[in-house]
Amino acid sequence: MDGHVWQKVYWSDTRGSELMETTSFGSVMVGFMADVALLAGAPLAVATVIGLIVSFFQAITQIQDQTLSQTVKIAAIAITLFVFGAVLTSPLITSTQMVFDNFPDMVR
């Protein structure tokens, strides 16, 4: 289990018996947001770097084609998602499976 996604807090009385177990809904949502940021961040970083390189190339060669940078960025994002798609989506899939597995405990 991923520690940043699912955190349980236990309260017990003075005898040590477990009175209540709650799950922090906020920590689950923060985990999801971190996973989505990772999923979106890698292609965004690649598109930014490729866009800067193409813009620099266009400034040097004085090419004024506006579709050139968009085409290269779309191709770079597609290649990035094709190559790293499984690695980028696995934390999100794991988190989703964990929420569905533990859903009865969350709604109590």
pLDDT tens for each residue of 14-39:
444 443 344 567 777 888 888 889 88
Residue at 106 is within a domain: no
Residue at 3 is within a domain: no
Residue at 50 is within a domain: yes
What does each C-alpha distance from 84 to 5, 6, 93 come to in angstroms?
22, 25, 14
Residue at 12 is within a domain: yes
SS3 (DSSP) at 11: strand
List the domain range (segments joined by +) for residue 56: 8-101
Residue at 67 is within a domain: yes
Distance between CA atoms of residues 104 and 24, nearest Å:
14
Residue at 15 is within a domain: yes
Helices within the chain (DSSP H only): 25-61, 66-101, 103-106
Residue at 1 is within a domain: no
pLDDT in tens, 53-97: 999 998 999 888 888 889 999 999 999 999 998 898 898 898 888
Q: Can you read off the two tokens belonging to residue 67?
A: 């579709």
Q: What total of structural domains would you count in the chain?
A: 1
Hunting for tokens 């949502």 — which residue is that? 29
